[in-house]
């Protein structure tokens, strides 16, 4: 699991009942620069986006106590300002390092311009430039839409028609818990709960399309800190298969060539170096089987969605009388398939 965000400009972290909360303030950022801790990403065609901190008039998040109180405050916001009208061009600004699974994220946005498109929104559970979710508002289309990218393929958008005023501030809310996704606009639910299993965890960020220009501010995310991918896979597999005698997942730490146990049913197995058999499974990308008096061991390669070996899984099962090797290996396949579906596009079991 990645560790923190380092020094992120204007970041506040607080403990909450949900786990923790990050609040990002761009007020100490240098005007005209990309804020620290954020990374511009361009998905699709066309020129790179132009993200920078600018000053803008922003209404208060809370209603003023008196009518004489100022309605607008000059504040630093982050903006996408480029004008490339290329279709299927998606300039994003992504919060670096941290990944989120269960969370509620909120951001205030204002669509300020665009000829071909006038869109702004949020990208979330982003695993890479080809795999992520999007919810965006369109001032030209007067609608709110959700869609996903899987291996670079964009799904059909879904969502309601809603009044989205250009030049006005709106608040977008995204809540994810498991495979459930709830989306709100301006403090109200915007569409029924969505369910999708494509992306279990990922980064969050801001979204625009084609020549859209937009401002973003007051970003906050309340979240449940992630456990490592390996440990999450192990816990879910043991919960679903309580008759497993033992389960271990092996992988390599970032920057290391050593194959070792990264998640285990028994904590004293953590960090154990791979056996000769486990190394063979890793190198040969095929399962191995062995049988003792009280347990049968099936060692399987753990693959990502591209078929590349990401780790090794050691299953210990109770053998049944007369059960042959093929049957024992077959008993592990449904568990292995579920694990690999939970990996998605991740390339690191420590995430």
- Report pLDDT for 67: 56
Rounded Cα–Cα distance for residues 233 and 274 (Å): 19
Rounded to the nearest angstrom, the gap between the alpha carbon of residue 339 and the centroid of all alpha carbons in its chain is 17
The whole-number pLDDT of residue 25 equals 87
Going from the first residue of the chain to its last (351 residues), give the mean pLDDT of each consecutive group of 10, the final group possibly shorter. 39 58 90 95 96 95 57 93 95 90 96 97 94 97 97 95 96 95 97 94 95 97 88 94 96 88 92 95 96 92 91 94 88 96 78 73
Q: Domains for the chain: give ranges and CATH numbers.
A: 11-223 (2.60.120.560), 229-343 (3.30.450.40)
* Crossing angle between the packed helical segments 229-240 and 325-343, to the nearest 10 degrees: 130
Please give the pLDDT value at position 9.
47
pTM: 0.67
CA neighbor of 301 nearest in space, from 280, 318, 319, 317: 280
What number of other Cβ atoms are within 10 A of residue 282's Cβ? Answer: 20
The angle subtended at Cα 128 by Cα 77 and Cα 26, nearest 5°, is 15
- Which of 260, 256, 238 minimizes the C-alpha distance to 247? 238
Beta bridge partners of 313: 249, 300
Alpha carbon distances (Å) from 163 to 107, 119, 141, 143: 18, 13, 9, 7
Please count the other Cβ atoms lying within 10 Å of the Cβ belonging to residue 268.
8
140/234 Cα distance (integer angstroms): 47
């Amino acid at each position: 699991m990645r560790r923190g965000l380092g020094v992120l400009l204007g970041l506040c972290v607080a403990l909450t009942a949900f786990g923790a909360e990050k609040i990002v303030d761009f007020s100490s950022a240098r005007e005209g620069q990309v804020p620290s801790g954020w990374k511009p990403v361009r998905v699709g065609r066309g020129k790179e986006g132009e993200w920078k901190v600018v000053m803008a008039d922003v209404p208060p998040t809370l209603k003023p106590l008196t009518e004489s109180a100022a309605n607008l405050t000059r504040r630093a916001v982050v903006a996408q300002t480029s004008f490339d009208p290329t279709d299927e061009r998606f300039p994003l600004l992504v919060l670096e390092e941290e990944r989120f699974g269960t969370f509620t994220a909120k951001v205030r946005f204002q669509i300020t311009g665009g000829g071909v498109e006038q869109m702004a929104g949020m990208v979330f559970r982003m695993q890479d430039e080809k795999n992520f979710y999007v919810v965006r508002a369109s001032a030209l289309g007067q609608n709110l839409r959700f869609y996903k990218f899987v291996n670079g393929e964009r799904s059909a958008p879904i969502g309601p028609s809603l009044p989205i005023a250009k030049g006005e501030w709106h608040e977008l809310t995204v809540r994810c818990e498991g495979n459930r996704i709830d989306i709100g606009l301006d403090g109200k639910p915007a569409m029924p709960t969505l369910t999708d299993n494509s992306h279990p965890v990922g980064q969050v960020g801001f979204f625009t399309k084609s020549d859209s220009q937009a401002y973003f501010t007051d970003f906050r995310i309340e979240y449940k800190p992630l456990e490592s991918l390996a440990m999450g896979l192990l816990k879910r597999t043991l919960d679903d298969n309580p008759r497993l005698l033992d389960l271990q997942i092996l992988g390599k730490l970032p920057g290391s060539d050593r194959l070792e146990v990264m998640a285990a049913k028994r904590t004293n197995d953590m960090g154990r170096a791979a056996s000769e058999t486990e190394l063979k499974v890793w190198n040969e990308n095929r399962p191995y089987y062995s049988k003792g008096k009280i347990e049968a061991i099936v060692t399987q390669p753990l693959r990502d969605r591209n078929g590349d070996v990401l780790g090794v899984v050691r299953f210990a099962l109770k053998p049944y009388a007369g059960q042959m090797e093929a049957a024992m290996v077959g008993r592990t396949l449904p568990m292995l398939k579920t694990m690999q579906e939970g990996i998605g596009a991740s390339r690191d079991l420590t995430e």
